Amino acid sequence: PLCFYVLFEANSYSGEFGIYCYESFRPCTAASQCIRPICFSFCVSRFDYQELLHNSTFCLVPRGRRLGSFRFLESLQAACVPVLLSNGWELPFSDVIQWNQAVLEGDERLLLQVPSTVRAVGNERILALRQRTQMLWEAYFSSVDKIVLTTLEIIKDRVFSHVSRNKYMWNSLPGGLFVLPEYSTHLAHFPFYYLGLGVSPGQEFTAVIHAVSPLVSQSQPIMKLLQVVSKSKYCSQIIILWNSEKPPPSRSKWPPMPVPLTVTDGRRKTTSRFLPHVSIETEAVLSLDEDTVLLTSEVNFAFLVWRSFPERIVGYPPRSHFWDPVKRVWGYTSKWTNDYSIILTGAAFYHRYYHFLFSHYLPQSLRTLVDRTANCEDILMNFLVSAVTHLPPIKVAQRKQYKELPIPQGTKSVPWANPEHFNQRQECVNSFANWFGYMPLVHSQFRLDPVLFKDQVSVLRKKYKDLEKA
């Protein structure tokens, strides 16, 4: 029966729980008072089932026609702690999911003990149980695709047991589907486990500069950018991803630097900037466009911020998305406001694991779209990281607004100069949202500035005084 009785919060102030009879909507002194035939249509016409689910703390999940019941998934979706009343039911994916952290099990032969059982659960455990129901729902059960993919990944872990996920990976954020054992099976190699393990990321970064213009002058912006980045005490090496139609210049054409410089063929693919290059040995990656204008102090400050938030994208140039209720599509805007949801990877730090995830988790169709339009790779990376973390990127203070420089004479037009560039990016936002099945981007108004930034005190007291210069 649909509505015999449901456990839900009887008094939002006292926090007491009780069994309510839907027929008279009064507290039941015993469960037997509620176990009476109630007309299905009567329940639906008088009460909103979804509202009751979402307002409930505990939801009874008795057996259906078989041991299981779809009430179980309904409870997970509503963040209502399932109270199982189906002796002998083997829960889905139980060989990897620790269900005792998300559900309560009762004995269907001892129904009268259920009220005392749930009353004995403390508030802290209730919160932990409800949080775990949401984590498991989002990670494995929110779509048929995820259920099928989870099944296949569990089978793969069984076959290739020497390279498989452990239970911690399956039962903690972001879930086993975002943890690719081909990359590593060690928890400390993934950015989203640092906090739980009490470890910190490395103290150096690798700069990857995306170059699309041929080198025709020593005064080009990329030359100054190389000098700026190489002066950072945290810089381990610089990789130039050469995506120009002309061959790269010899090493003698590049300026001398205190860190190793490597020029890699990008095969003229926009997505090549996010390939898992074996030459990247540091955990942190600084992604840069060839025309980015930054100071060494800006690079240093952004890197220190990233070390505190290694699972996120941390950088300078922000953008945002919005919902257009008239056209019923997602929009993309580059207006400078306090609200943002995207950090452009033309000047941003992130963990190198996202290169591997970008290349091995995302479908080939999305990467082909990016390469065909020579656009949107930064938006796709933001979609991916936000889908993993359910968090927005982080913007840091900057000396001045991020602007692309004019195109040098005699060089080929870069993608952002194309009039269709903006329209393509808006179409990309909708294409990416369709594949993910929802909008993973998260809005934020959070910005991190250095201590005493813009404060009316002596610049001698400020560590990053250069950031305040025009």
pLDDT averaged over every residue in the chain: 85
Please tell me the predicted confidence (pLDDT) of residue 38.
Answer: 32
Q: What is the DSSP letter of 422?
A: H
Please tell me the predicted confidence (pLDDT) of residue 127.
Answer: 96
Tens digits of per-residue pLDDT, 235-268?
999 999 999 888 888 888 898 999 999 999 887 7
- Continuous H helices in 260-325: 296-308
Q: Which residue is associated with the tokens 């560590």? A: 463
Q: Where are the domains of the chain?
A: 5-141, 205-401+412-448
Q: Is 107 a catalytic residue?
A: no
Sequence-distant (6+) residues with CB within 8 A of 273 are 208, 210, 241, 243, 266, 287, 345, 377
Residues in the chain, pLDDT under 50:
1-45, 402-412, 470
User: What one-letter code names the amino acid at 183?
Assistant: Y
Please tell me the predicted confidence (pLDDT) of residue 468.
Answer: 76
What proportion of the chain, given as a percentage, has pLDDT over 90? 65
Please tell me the predicted confidence (pLDDT) of residue 126.
Answer: 95
Tens digits of per-residue pLDDT, 363-397?
999 999 999 999 999 999 999 999 999 999 999 98
Please tell me the predicted confidence (pLDDT) of residue 410.
Answer: 44
* Catalytic residue, candidates 157, 378, 449, 455: 378
Q: Residue 183 is encoded by which pair of tokens? A: 């990359």
Q: How many CA atoms lie within 13 A of 184 on its CB side?
A: 11
Task: Tell the CATH topology of 5-141.
Answer: Rossmann fold (3.40.50)
Distance between CA atoms of residues 160 and 181, nearest Å: 10
Tens digits of per-residue pLDDT, 95-125?
999 999 999 998 888 888 889 999 999 999 9
Q: Which residue is associated with the tokens 């729980």? A: 17
Model-level pTM greater than 0.75? yes
53 with 23: CB under 8 angstroms? Answer: no
Please tell me the predicted confidence (pLDDT) of residue 44.
Answer: 39
Please tell me the predicted confidence (pLDDT) of residue 162.
Answer: 92
- CATH of segment(s) 205-401+412-448: 3.90.550.10
